[in-house]
Amino acid sequence: MKKYYLAAIIMLLFNLKTMAQILTPVQWSYGSKRISPTEAVVFLKATIDEGWHVYSQTVKDGGPVKTAISFNPSKEYQTIGQTAEPKPITRMEKVFGMDVSFFEKSVIFQQKIKLKAKQTTVSGKLEYMTCNDKQCLPPEDIQFSIIVK
Query: Residue 109 maps to which CATH number?
Result: 2.60.40.1250
pLDDT per position as a tens digit, 136-145: 999 999 999 9
Q: DSSP letters along 46-90, please?
A: EEE-TT-EEE-TTPPTTSSPPPEEEE---SSEEEEEEEE-PPPEE
Confirm if 107 and 55 have CB atoms less than 8 A apart.
no
First to last CA, the chain: 66
**Greater pLDDT, 8 or 124:** 124
pTM: predicted TM-score of the whole model, two decimal places: 0.85
Residue 17 lies in a domain: no
Question: How many domains is the chain partitioned into structurally?
Answer: 1
pLDDT per position as a tens digit, 8-60: 444 444 444 444 468 999 999 999 999 999 999 999 999 999 999 999 999 99
Mean pLDDT across the chain, nearest whole number?
89
Residue 11 lies in a domain: no
